[in-house]
Chains A and B, each alone.
Chain A
Amino acid sequence: MRKRKGFTLLEICIGMLLLGGVLVIYLQSMQSSKKKNEYYSEHFIASIMAAKVVEACFQEADINLYGIEALGLVDKDGQGLTFSTPVTDGQTVFFKAPEITLEQHPHLYSMFSKDFMLDINSEKDAKQYFTLNTAFAWKAATGAGKFNFYCNFPGSVLRKEPHSTFAFPEAKLEKKLVERFFEEKNKNLGTIISSPGAREVALSTGRIYFSTSSLLADKPFTEAFATAEKLAAEPHAPTSVKYYQATELYFGIARDILDLMLFLKPEVERLSKDLDKIDSMNLRTKTRLQVFIQRSGLALDKLRQVFLISVNEAASRYRAQMQSSTSLKSQRLMIEKCLSMHRLMIVTADFSDGVFVSDNAYNIIRSEYSLLLATLARYFADKDQSIVRLAAQEKRFADDNMIKDRYFVCDLVYQLFSEIAALKAKLPDPDPGVPDPDLSVIGQPSGNGTAAGAITWAQDQMNGGSGKGLNVNIGKRICDDPKAWNDWNLAFVSTAYNGSKGELLVGSAIDSYSAWESKGKVKTTGRPPAGAIMYTAASAGNPYGHIFIATGKSDESGDPIVITTGSSGSFDGVREMTLSQVVSWASGKYLGYVSPE
Chain B
Amino acid sequence: MMRRKVSGYVFPLILMATISIGFFTLTLVQLQSSHHDQLQHLNDYQHALNLACSANVEVLSELREKQWDERFFKDKPIYKYDQELFGGIYDICVEDYDTAQYTFNVKIRTTMGDRKNLFYWRQKYMPNMLDFTRMAYTVSFGEFPPELFEPAKKSEIDKIVDDKLKNADNNYAESIDIAKNLKKEPTLGAVIKKLGALPPGTDPSSIKGESQLRPSSPVLGTQASNQPKVKASDVLDELKNLVNPVDRLNLPAAGRSICNSNLMIRSEPWGSVISTIPPGGAVDVIGLQGDFFEITRGGTSGYSHINWIAVPGHTPSGVEPPRPPGAPPAW
Contact = CB atoms under 8 A, between A and B. Distances in A.
Interface of A: 4-7, 11-12, 15-16, 18-19, 22-23, 25-26, 29-30, 33, 36-37, 40, 43-44, 47, 50-51, 54, 58, 64-65, 125, 127-129, 131, 147, 149-155, 157-163, 179-185, 209-210, 212-213, 216-217, 225-226, 229, 238, 251, 253-255, 258-259, 262, 282-285, 287-288, 295, 298-299, 302-303, 305-306, 309-313, 315-317, 319-320, 322-326, 331, 336-337, 339-341, 344, 354-358, 364, 368, 372, 375-376, 378-379, 407-410, 412, 431-436, 438, 450-452, 529-530, 552, 596-597
B301 to A, nearest CB: 12
Given A147-B43, A262-B129, 19 more contacts: A7-B11, A26-B24, A128-B64, A154-B60, A163-B68, A179-B289, A183-B289, A185-B268, A216-B240, A255-B128, A283-B325, A319-B223, A319-B225, A323-B221, A356-B229, A358-B227, A372-B222, A375-B220, A433-B325
Interface stretch (B49-57, B148-156, B185-193): B49-57
Interface of B: 4, 7-8, 10-11, 14-15, 17-18, 21-22, 24-25, 28-29, 32, 35-36, 39, 42-43, 46-47, 50, 53-55, 57-58, 60-62, 64-65, 67-69, 85-87, 127-135, 183, 217-225, 227-233, 235-236, 238-240, 242-244, 247-248, 268-270, 287-292, 317, 319-327, 329-330
A364 B232 CA distance: 18
A317 B85 CA distance: 44
Contact of B10 (A15, A47, A310): A15
Contacts of B242: 295, 298-299, 302
A303 to B, nearest CB: 7
Contact of A368 (B10, B225, B248, B330): B225
Given A22-B21, A29-B29, A152-B54, A288 B228 contact: no
A9 to B, nearest CB: 12
Given A160-B127, A299-B239, A375-B222, A225 B323 contact: no
Given A282-B326, A375-B220, A159 B64 contact: yes
A129 B57 contact: yes
B67 A161 contact: yes
A209 B243 contact: yes
A44 B42 contact: yes
A40 B36 contact: yes
Contact of A179 (B22, B238, B288): B288
A47 B248 contact: no
A340 B130 contact: yes
Contacts of A451: 319-320
A378 B221 contact: yes
A337 B10 CA distance: 82
Nearest to A327: B179
Contacts of A283: 325-326
A596 B43 CA distance: 81
Given A47-B43, A180-B288, A433 B324 contact: yes
Contact of B239 (A154, A303, A341): A303
A322 B127 contact: no
B11 A15 contact: yes
Contacts of B15: 15, 18
Contacts of B291: 183
Contacts of B248: 213, 216-217
Given A6-B7, A213-B243, A183 B270 contact: yes
Contacts of A180: 247, 288-290
Nearest to A409: B132
Nearest to A284: B326
A10 B162 CA distance: 78
Contacts of A254: 130
Nearest to B126: A160
23 contacts: A6-B8, A22-B18, A22-B25, A127-B65, A131-B54, A150-B85, A150-B87, A160-B135, A180-B247, A213-B248, A216-B240, A262-B129, A282-B326, A287-B324, A306-B236, A311-B130, A320-B224, A336-B133, A340-B133, A355-B230, A358-B227, A376-B220, A435-B320
A5 B14 contact: no
B17 to A, nearest CB: 6
Q: Is the interface of A mostly helix, strand, loop or mixed?
A: helix
B58 A127 contact: yes
B328 to A, nearest CB: 9
Most buried by B among A11, A160, A217, A313: A160
B217 to A, nearest CB: 5
A158 B64 contact: yes
Nearest to A29: B25
Question: Which 10 residue pairs of A and B lie closest in terms of their CB atoms, listed nearest first?
Answer: A284-B326, A183-B290, A409-B132, A433-B322, A152-B54, A150-B86, A217-B248, A302-B239, A15-B14, A316-B225
Nearest to B87: A150
A37 B289 CA distance: 88
Given A37-B32, A284-B325, A7 B7 contact: yes
Given A15-B14, A288-B290, A434 B7 contact: no
B235 to A, nearest CB: 5
A313 B220 contact: no
B129 A409 contact: yes
Nearest to A450: B320
A23 B69 CA distance: 73
Contacts of B292: 183
A135 to B, nearest CB: 13
B14 to A, nearest CB: 4
Nearest to A212: B243
A435 B43 contact: no
Given A323-B220, A379-B220, A19 B58 contact: no
Given A295-B242, A340-B133, A316 B224 contact: yes
Nearest to A228: B232
A306 B234 CA distance: 9
Contact of B7 (A5, A152, A155, A529): A5
B205 to A, nearest CB: 28
Nearest to B35: A40
B124 to A, nearest CB: 13
Nearest to B269: A183
A295 B228 contact: no
Nearest to A20: B18
Contacts of B229: 309, 312-313, 355-357
B290 A530 contact: no
Contact of B57 (A154, A217, A287): A154
A157 B223 CA distance: 31
A320 B222 contact: yes
B49 to A, nearest CB: 8
Contacts of B8: 6
Contacts of A313: 229, 232
Contacts of A407: 132-133
Given A37-B32, A295-B242, A597 B228 contact: no
Contacts of A40: 35-36, 39
B132 A408 contact: yes
Nearest to A299: B242
B29 A436 contact: no
B72 to A, nearest CB: 12
B46 A149 contact: yes
B137 to A, nearest CB: 9
Nearest to B224: A320
B312 to A, nearest CB: 13
A354 B324 contact: no
Nearest to A262: B129
Contact of B222 (A183, A326, A354, A376): A376
Most buried by A among B14, B85, B269, B289: B14
A597 to B, nearest CB: 5
A25 B18 CA distance: 11
A229 B232 contact: yes
A293 to B, nearest CB: 12
Contacts of B61: 125, 127-129, 152, 154-155
